Structure 1
Amino acid sequence: MEDFVERVVRRLREEPGFSRNRHFLAFSSPEGQRALRIHRHLRSIERDLARGSSATVERQEARVRLTLRSPRGLRTAWLSEAEFRILCASPLVRAALAA
């Protein structure tokens, strides 16, 4: 993941005031749009873990395979190492993955 994309994703996840509207120019670039997509994907995974999904993690070459099991079904998410590190910055995710 490029440095700019990673910084934007981290800011989106850590700073609630980092608004897409206020920083329109940053999000209008392809890198900004990619950062926003990654942020939404990670937020969706975090939401599923908060709802009580059980998770298994497998490292495969340069990617991480995260499998979430819930009563509603099975979800598999492929993340880069950087995306997985950003996801694990959340205490909720760390607690869910430790269980």
Structure 2
Amino acid sequence: MAELSGGAGFRVVPGEVRAAGVAAQEVAGRVVEEVRAVGGPVEGVVREVRGWQVGEALGTCTHAWQELLNGLAAEIDRGGRKLAESAGAYQAAEAGVAGDFGGPGRR
């Protein structure tokens, strides 16, 4: 797909925009997986030190970090989806303009 040049002095390469969106969604998925993977071992430690203040603090801290990181992953995923949607919109606009002019290479 060709680059699209906006009037503001920038160029858009829809394929690269889409690839960035997909990459962001993959990162978001890995963050969720890693957060989930850490949870089990930490819960085991919390159970082992039950009754100690450090155990309760570790559980509270871990829960807070998990919520924060899962929220971050959700934001990254949303951003990735929006990038992919934008790439589609740029491609549709380009196809529409090309159609208005009879398509590429037509006179």
TM-score normalised over the length of structure 1: 0.31
**Greater share of strand:** 1
**Greater share of helix:** 2
Q: Higher relative contact order at CA 8 Å, sep ≥6: structure 1 or structure 2?
A: 2
TM-score normalised over the length of structure 2: 0.29
